[in-house]
Structure 1
Amino acid sequence: MSVQTPPRLLDLAGTSLLRDEDSAVSALEYLPTELFPPLFMEAFQGRRIETLKAMVHAWPFVRLPLGGLIDMPHVGPLQAVLEALDVLLAQKVRSRRCKLRVLDLRDTGQNFWRMWSGASIHGCSSSRRAPVAEHTSRTQQHLAPLKVFIDICLKKRTLDNFLTYLFWWVEQRKDSIHLCCKKLKIFAMPMENIMKVLSMVQLDCIQEVQVNCVWHLSTLATFAPLLGEMSNLQSLILSPIVVSAFEEQQQKQHVVQFTSQFPRLDHLQDLHLESPSFLEGCLDQMLRCLKTPLDNLSITNCQLTESDLTHLSQCPNICQLKGLDLSGVTLTDFSPELLQVLLEQVAATLQELNLEQCGIGDFQLESILPALSHCFQLRTFSLCGNLLSKTIMEKLLSHTAGLPHLSDEFYPAPRESYSPHGALHLGRLAQLRDGLIEIMRDLGRPRAIWLSSSPCPHWSNKTFYQEEPFLYLCYTSG
């Protein structure tokens, strides 16, 4: 027979108070702070609009994390809160209880509601609550604009009802509202509409920009001035940029419009460029505009010139890289010393290295093994999609055996695993695997390795350490 946990006195008090909405509203000025969050949740879920509005007027915390209460924001409850904020913003003198300066519509407030509702296993000590109920003078409350935080994801060609209503509300109150967005994702929307949306956002609040749709180079050039105003940007991820035939005459101008914004990005740490064909032969234009050292650099699935790779290996702002991804960049025709110099530049800090499908052969790999063996912070390394012999793989295992943090290794099936016609022979692969396991056993360090006939199968799927060396075979049939 299960024993149900009895309701807390705090919950019973809130439920009792909400039975009479008029009494609840009149009692807010004297209500204990501990009752506000659970009572707000009850009113929100029960759609008690008048109580909800009154609670906003007397909210005793600096932040109202409304996004933590709703999976998908709806116009109804949001409208009630915004209407209450209208009244609050118009007041010359506010309630003595009200400390509200931030409306947070991001899905980041669950811990706040759990803590005050008793759901947190850590309980709610007064010391944990103290930082939430910050004190601000009435003069400061009146002068400082209300900050509204939201993560913007533009998935369609037009805005949904929620964003349409919110942006309309913000536009009417530009002087008293600061709309702050830290994460901006663009999947599909005309540039004209994107610019209208961003005209209402404090661009210097944006920290992450992710473009998940194919843009023309001219579109990127149009977006570039907005990018330059994002002075606190930390992460920029761009999907493939297409250079059409009619853009070729203006390509140099468009590239300059894009790269010239980088000197304004003082906090950029992560830069990910998927298929940036427009940078071929002019990568140095972007690299020399970087203001601060990067943590992660990804330039993938494109052609680079030897000059590009030279500039990359000499760039002072890549010397602290933790992650380097050059997958899909053909390195066959370059002097292997360039890649060696690049690895020497980042050896002290590099944690993730992806060289999948780079056309690397035995000669290129052997040239970089000494530099690779000095990457003592390396945790993840992938060479999948390259054609390597069993002999060079044995050397690779020997050189990487001294890397203490290396835990995820993704290597191609040895060249000897294939028939002259390119078909994978599973029997040969199994024999070669057994031979490599013996090599690892002799090296005396337990390791877990992916051995694959295709590009890296699971960057994020970690294998477990074994007491004995272990090679996991992953291959594609047909």
Structure 2
Amino acid sequence: MEKMRLFVLGLEGRLVPWVFPQDSFQSRFIRMSSQAPPRLLELACESLLRDKALAISVLEELPTELFPPLFTAAFTGRHCEALRALVQAWPFACLPLGALVTEQRIHRETIQAAFAGIDGLLAQKVRPRRWKLQVLDLRKHAHQDFWNVWSGSAPRMFSLTEPGTAKPMTKRQKVEEKQPSAPLEVLLDLCLSESTPDQFLTYLIKKVQQRNDLHLCCKKLKIFAMPIQNIRKILKVVELESIQNLEVNCTWKLSTLGRFAPHMGQMVNLRRLLLSHIHVSSDMTPAMEEQYVSLFTSQLLHLQHLHVLHLDSVCFLEGRLDQVLRCVKTSLETLSITNCLLLESDLMHLSLCPNVGQLKNLSLSGVSLTNMSPGPLKFLLERASSTLRDLALDECGIMDSQFSALLPALGHCSQLKTLSFCGNPISTAVLEDLLRLTVGLSKLSHVLYPDPLESYEDTDGTPHPGRLAQLHVKLRQMLQEAGRPSMIWSRANSCPRCGNRTFYDPGPLLCPCYLPV
């Protein structure tokens, strides 16, 4: 086949022949006429990768700036041999491979190619001078800007000398530098949602088990559905101190939580903990229940960086909230206790707890406060008034008298941005009092409120559209007169038929389940 010949300026000023089939050039020319033409850098990378031996041989002299676009081209074209060589010569501290993954098949191929290169290097006592790799990042949505910047599709926002990137080497530096071997971190986010690990995770666990100099690190761990024995096997190969965000969205017995708790205690850098749907089995004795609760709370003592705590549908909090909070030794920024049974003494302990005075986000949604004194919650709001930004008191059964008692404390929450108290049986008069008070909070931008009692039909308890329309007009007029027309007040109520919460703004609408099919 006839070939066209083009010379490009190569390394050290030499002219390097760039050869490609004529039909390839013609097809590219046709595509260029209908879309943006490929840049010279892209064409050069593709041309170089056609000669694998040449591509691998020039890596020692390749400028740092060309590694990312060449790696992207090798990844897209599935040039596994070139990928292995690129990993071995990678001049950056981090290789964000996960950001390039779009297909599971490519994922496996590239992972295997990357580990083939890593295996060979880790087996050497002295690493090559060019190799700077410390972290193989397999998270799919991390460092996407890295590839965009180096490919030229985004403006360069960092320099070559910033932390995490390698400095270009001068000729004097291009001598054999002995670097001691250090463990390589493999970073990914884990989501355990099936009974057994998938093929990729199984492969990764096997690789980590084979090498002491390969550490599996995880910043985000989510557990949805997996037998506890499988979870514990996986966590044995994970560097637990690397976990910063833990979500347990399982329906677990308290005994299962007790078996998991020692692993949680080793997550000493944990910043965010979400725990949901923990229940006590009917055959558990009070002594056993107390033993498992103590096992869980004792592990909280090790979490010296915990600032966000979410507890949803956790059965053992009733009468024990003080036991849990005593073991939290850090100042919490977010505390969410939702859909739980609490005693008034629990709310009193919460209001007096020393590490909740600087809260930014507080949610007690789904906690019944109907028969409780408003005093503890009022005191808590006063303590956090200078920092609180988001407050949620949905479905708490708060009555008029209780809400009126909370209004002065709410009026001092100068940083409050959002307030939600849907599903509470309050009157129109209290709702209007709240509006008059909160228009003075300059940062408050969004309020979610329930349909007041007067807006319901007497017959079946459904909202009356006409009354709601009048209320909405009145609230908007009050905001206009107070100089806060941009403040958003939205209705949000649970439908008595289907139970789903529907948001209404600006006008009142019925839940879709009321509409004719």
Q: TM-score scaled by structure 1?
A: 0.92
Corresponding residue SS for 1:153: strand
Corresponding residue SS for 1:261: helix
Corresponding residue SS for 2:415: coil
Runs of 4+ with >6 A deviation = 135-140
The answer to whether the Cα contact below 8 Å between 1:450 and 1:473 also exists between their aligned partners in 2 is no
Paired residue type of 1:434 = V
Mean CA deviation greater in 55-64 or 152-161: 55-64
Aligned partner of 1:192 in structure 2 is 229
Mean CA deviation greater in 345-354 or 67-76: 67-76
Paired residue type of 2:465 = L
CA-CA distance at 1:7 after TM superposition: 3.2
CA-CA distance at 1:132 after TM superposition: 4.1
Of 48, 69, 92, the residue aligned with 1:17 is 48
Per-residue displacement from partner, 1:375-433 (whole Å, max 9, x unpaired)?
01001101110011111111111111111111110011111011233232111222232
Aligned partner of 2:7 in structure 1 is none
Of 129, 152, 171, the residue aligned with 1:118 is 152
Corresponding residue SS for 1:403: coil
Of 207, 216, 219, the residue aligned with 1:179 is 216
Of 432, 444, 447, the residue aligned with 1:394 is 432
Aligned partner of 2:494 in structure 1 is 454
Corresponding residue SS for 1:239: strand
Distance (whole Å) between structure 2 residues aligned to residue 52 and residue 339 of structure 1: 59
Mean CA deviation greater in 314-323 or 17-26: 17-26
Aligned partner of 2:27 in structure 1 is none
Aligned partner of 2:20 in structure 1 is none
Of 323, 335, 350, the residue aligned with 2:361 is 323
Per-residue displacement from partner, 1:341-395 (whole Å, max 9, x unpaired)?
1111111100000001101011000001000100010011011100111111111
Aligned partner of 1:442 in structure 2 is 481
**Aligned ranges 1:41-440 → 2 under 5 Å:** 41-73=72-104, 74-107=107-140, 108-120=142-154, 122-123=155-156, 127-128=159-160, 130-134=162-166, 141-173=179-211, 175-249=212-286, 250-421=288-459, 422-440=461-479
CA-CA distance at 1:71 after TM superposition: 2.9
Corresponding residue SS for 2:58: helix
The answer to whether the Cα contact below 8 Å between 2:363 and 2:392 also exists between their aligned partners in 1 is yes
Aligned partner of 1:467 in structure 2 is none
Cα 1:285/1:140, change in 2 over 3 Å: farther
Distance (whole Å) between structure 2 residues aligned to residue 440 and residue 172 of structure 1: 66
Corresponding residue SS for 1:372: helix
Distance (whole Å) between structure 2 residues aligned to residue 388 and residue 277 of structure 1: 28
Structure 2 stretches of 5 or more lacking a match?
Answer: 1-31
Paired residue type of 1:69 = L
CA-CA distance at 1:5 after TM superposition: 4.1
Corresponding residue SS for 1:441: helix
Per-residue displacement from partner, 1:38-82 (whole Å, max 9, x unpaired)?
111121222222111111111111111110110355322211111
Paired residue type of 1:112 = F
Distance (whole Å) between structure 2 residues aligned to residue 202 and residue 243 of structure 1: 30
The answer to whether the Cα contact below 8 Å between 1:322 and 1:349 also exists between their aligned partners in 2 is yes
Per-residue displacement from partner, 1:116-162 (whole Å, max 9, x unpaired)?
11111x1477x256544336998884332111111111110001110
CA-CA distance at 1:202 after TM superposition: 0.8
Cα 1:70/1:141, change in 2 over 3 Å: farther
Distance (whole Å) between structure 2 residues aligned to residue 284 and residue 352 of structure 1: 23
The answer to whether the Cα contact below 8 Å between 2:80 and 2:109 also exists between their aligned partners in 1 is no
Q: TM-score scaled by structure 2?
A: 0.85
CA-CA distance at 1:472 after TM superposition: 4.3
Distance (whole Å) between structure 2 residues aligned to residue 139 and residue 364 of structure 1: 72
Give 1 or 2 for the bigger CA radius of gyration: 2
Query: Percent identity of the aligned residues?
Result: 52
Distance (whole Å) between structure 2 residues aligned to residue 314 and residue 432 of structure 1: 38
Aligned partner of 2:13 in structure 1 is none
Cα 1:436/1:100, change in 2 over 3 Å: closer
Distance (whole Å) between structure 1 residues aligned to residue 179 and residue 284 of structure 2: 51
Q: Is 1:34–2:65 an aligned residue pair? A: yes
CA-CA distance at 1:92 after TM superposition: 2.2
Structure 1 stretches of 5 or more lacking a match?
Answer: 464-470
Distance (whole Å) between structure 1 residues aligned to residue 103 and residue 267 of structure 2: 27
Figure out how many residues of one structure are paired with residues of the other and give that number: 466
Distance (whole Å) between structure 2 residues aligned to residue 140 and residue 238 of structure 1: 47
Distance (whole Å) between structure 2 residues aligned to residue 348 and residue 411 of structure 1: 23
Cα 1:95/1:44, change in 2 over 3 Å: same
Cα 1:35/1:433, change in 2 over 3 Å: closer
Distance (whole Å) between structure 1 residues aligned to residue 177 and residue 267 of structure 2: 30
Cα 1:474/1:243, change in 2 over 3 Å: farther
CA-CA distance at 1:434 after TM superposition: 2.6
Distance (whole Å) between structure 1 residues aligned to residue 163 and residue 327 of structure 2: 40
Paired residue type of 1:396 = L
Corresponding residue SS for 1:240: strand
Distance (whole Å) between structure 2 residues aligned to residue 236 and residue 347 of structure 1: 24
CA-CA distance at 1:295 after TM superposition: 0.6
Distance (whole Å) between structure 1 residues aligned to residue 178 and residue 247 of structure 2: 35
Distance (whole Å) between structure 2 residues aligned to residue 83 and residue 280 of structure 1: 53
The answer to whether the Cα contact below 8 Å between 2:358 and 2:384 also exists between their aligned partners in 1 is yes
The answer to whether the Cα contact below 8 Å between 2:128 and 2:178 also exists between their aligned partners in 1 is no
The answer to whether the Cα contact below 8 Å between 2:337 and 2:365 also exists between their aligned partners in 1 is yes
Paired residue type of 2:484 = R
Corresponding residue SS for 2:215: strand
The answer to whether the Cα contact below 8 Å between 2:469 and 2:507 also exists between their aligned partners in 1 is no
Corresponding residue SS for 2:292: helix
